[in-house]
Amino acid sequence: MNQSDVHLLDLLNEILLIILKKLNNIDVLYSLLNINNERLNILAHEKIFSTITLVSMDNISSIDPGKLDRFCIDILPRIHHNVKCLFLEPLSMERILLSTNYPKLTKLKLFNFKQEFALRYFTNDCLCLLDGRLKRLTTLIVEIYYMNNSSSIVHNMNDLPNLKCLSLKCYHSTDQYDDKILPLLHRMPYLEKLTLYFRINNRNTFIDDAHLQNEIFLYMPRLHSFTFYICTYIDNVNSIHYIPYENIRQHVANIVNCINTHVFIYVTYLLVEDILPFNHEFFIRVGQAFPLLNIFRVINEELQSCCNFNTFSSDNNRSNPIAEYPHLTVLDLRNAHFDYVEQFLNETKTYLPCLTELTVFYTNLRIATENFTREETRRNCAKVKQLFIVIPLVHSKDFYLYFPSL
């Protein structure tokens, strides 16, 4: 039998690619790229080598420095336009990411991160994600607790033409809205969907509809969905003219009347907060003004206003109007006076047919339900599936009968 002498380079390119795909991408690129063989060099530039895994095999030692040098200096700058997925470890991550741009990168996986590396890399300025490197980014969702007012990063201020959806939430109050957030939003003329959650302090004026129109909508002509919670705290009391108490009461009354004459059919989340007490009529108007309300949070530590409260001194009085919330599923009363727990759970005052999640202090709940025996508050509790309270480990039989859906 004659034995044929066939070399690797005698194979067709299609067959060579099938073989190379079976091998580790890093080994292929390291061995074939720029080795004075034009054919192999062209094959190494194929788009199939789009996943780069630069992670040590034993999870202990780092990548060989010489190998890393060649990748960062010679290989990655040549094939960066093909890279779609990077698998990296902390010791080499920064150098690899800064060695070139990755315009088609869609996936980044990080391995072997310990706490000290996580604190270093993931508590810095997340806005650098929009510095222009991720040119094809279409959706960005960021949730942070705190926004630092100092940053050593100079951000690219060019427009972001491919960004279509942005959700940016900062749960701690911040004074960086005007300096950082607005300039960022002004770079997004093609944005279609925007979600903002901010509690803003150290401003001289409130964020109102005129501000939203002039500083956000004007810069986003394609925006069709805007979900937001923006609370502005005015701290500079000395710059505000004194307003007589009677005028304040009239102003608050005007706000309530405005709620009464408008219907906000798209609002599903509402937080109401005041240093003055709410009354039953206020909650009736809220229910009418926000017919599709799904989540409601009440912050008010004051005893409920007596102007309507006395009319409910007897649970047998059924002639008074009831506040109706037919779609409300989540109710948060953790920062509300006991009266508001009674207001919402008492079916003679409030209709809550869909309530499934309740947040409340245990003591207030126990008092409002008369140790989980009161009939007038039983119906609104019957469908609750999630109850967030500071509670004893052992509950009474009446408690479980009161919340059969838990």
Together in a domain, 4 and 117: yes
Using the 3D structure, point to which of 212, 240, 268 is the last residue of a domain. Answer: 240
Pairing of strands 350-351, 225-232: unpaired
Q: Measured in whole angstroms, how far is the alpha carbon of residue 185 from the centre of its chain?
A: 16
Predicted local confidence at residue 286, as pLDDT: 93
Specify the 3-state DSSP secondary structure of 231: strand
Together in a domain, 15 and 95: yes
Widest distance between CA atoms in the chain: 111
Within a domain: residue 394? yes
Together in a domain, 65 and 3: yes
Question: Given the structure tokens 């309740």, which residue do they identify?
Answer: 358
Within a domain: residue 207? yes
Together in a domain, 90 and 105: yes
Q: In what order do the strands lie in the sheet with 139-144?
A: 139-144, 165-170, 193-200, 225-232
Within a domain: residue 327? yes
Together in a domain, 50 and 173: no
Average pLDDT over residues 392-402: 74
Within a domain: residue 37? yes
User: Is a pLDDT exceeding 70 seen at residue 20?
Assistant: no
Together in a domain, 386 and 281: yes
Domain that holds residue 372: 252-402
Together in a domain, 321 and 273: yes
Together in a domain, 61 and 18: yes
The answer to whether 342 and 360 have CB atoms below 8 angstroms apart is no
Average pLDDT over residues 247-251: 49
Average pLDDT over residues 65-86: 83
Predicted local confidence at residue 349, as pLDDT: 95
Together in a domain, 134 and 205: yes
CB within 8 A of 265, min separation 6: which ones?
Answer: 291, 292
User: Is a pLDDT exceeding 60 seen at residue 389?
Assistant: yes
Average pLDDT over residues 316-322: 64
Task: For residues 109 and 90, give the distance between their C-alpha atoms in angstroms, rounded to a whole number.
Answer: 11
Task: State residue 72 phi and psi, 5-degree precision.
Answer: -75, -35
- Residues 89-142 have pLDDT tens digits of 878 888 888 888 888 887 877 777 666 666 566 655 666 667 776 777 888 888
- Residues 131-163 have pLDDT tens digits of 776 777 888 888 777 776 655 445 567 888 888
Question: Given the structure tokens 């109102």, which residue do they identify?
Answer: 208
Together in a domain, 256 and 381: yes
Together in a domain, 339 and 224: no
How many structural domains comprise the chain? 3
Within a domain: residue 247? no
Within a domain: residue 246? no
Contacts of 375-378 with C-beta under 8 Å, sequence gap 24+, read 376/315, 376/346, 376/347, 376/348, 377/342, 377/345, 377/346, 377/347, 378/402
CA dihedral 240, 242, 245, 246 (to 10 degrees): -100
Together in a domain, 258 and 223: no
Q: Which of 178, 169, 174, 182 is nearest to 200 (CA)?
A: 174
Within a domain: residue 35? yes
